[in-house]
Chains A and B, each alone.
Chain A
Amino acid sequence: RKEVEQDPGPFNVPEGATVAFNCTYSNSASQSFFWYRQDCRKEPKLLMSVYSSGNEDGRFTAQLNRASQYISLLIRDSKLSDSATYLCVVGPNQAGTALIFGKGTTLSVSS
């Protein structure tokens, strides 16, 4: 079983749509969870950390289900500028150890 799995997409949605991405991870000892955004030919950038209680940042909501080892990202009212690849990232709560990256889910928002 791959360590972090994501549906690669692409997800093609119109502006204003709500879209959800899911991610599963295999290491039950994982302690830190993130969503990164990566634009074409650019570096990954932190979108948001994911907390056990769930968290929201504007139009973006992240959820974590430790029992099912499942992470989600919900984007409401999609904008053209949301078009990017979204990386699900999992790691231990310990510096110096590798984060495990999913391969990413591609989102394309059209007008």
Chain B
Amino acid sequence: DAGITQSPRHKVTETGTPVTLRCHQTENHRYMYWYRQDPGHGLRLIHYSYGVKDTDKGEVSDGYSVSRSKTEDFLLTLESATSSQTSVYFCAISVPSGMGDTQYFGPGTRLTVL
């Protein structure tokens, strides 16, 4: 158990509404990530954070913003949700290991945008 929780676990929203997903970790790891997973695409990186208030874009960052005001929390915001953002969202942390860092995932948030 990597001590990662995500909230909400499921959400249905309407196009054009703002949505914020929360990732919380209990072990003060520096790096945190947001991925989305869609059929036919595998997991794709949206944004990541390398410290409080330090974030950077990933492969599919358009339409998303993130914030990290505390080490333990990493928020993903959809400013104006679109149907193309219907997906499963996973948060991850990096844990140092002998082969570089290993990533561990939260349980995911299933988001449906109608």
Identify the A interface with B (CB < 8 A).
Answer: 31-32, 34, 41-46, 49, 51, 87, 91-96, 98-99, 101-104
Contacts and interface: CB of A to CB of B under 8 A. Distances in A.
B96 A95 contact: yes
A104 B40 CA distance: 9
Contact of A49 (B41, B43, B102): B102
Nearest to B41: A103
Contacts of A99: 45, 103
Contacts of A49: 97, 99, 102
A95 B30 contact: yes
A43 B105 CA distance: 6
Nearest to A88: B42
A80 B105 CA distance: 24
Contacts, number: 60
Interface string B44-60: 11001010000010110
Interface of B: 30-31, 33, 40-45, 48, 50, 56, 58-59, 90, 94, 96-97, 99-108, 110
Contact of B31 (A31, A42, A45, A96): A96
Given A43-B90, A98-B45, A101-B43, A92 B106 contact: no
Contact of A103 (B40, B48, B94, B97): B40
B100 A32 contact: yes
A23 B104 CA distance: 21
A95 B42 contact: no
Given A91-B100, A92-B100, A103-B42, A98 B106 contact: no
Nearest to B46: A98
A104 B41 CA distance: 10
A44 B90 contact: yes
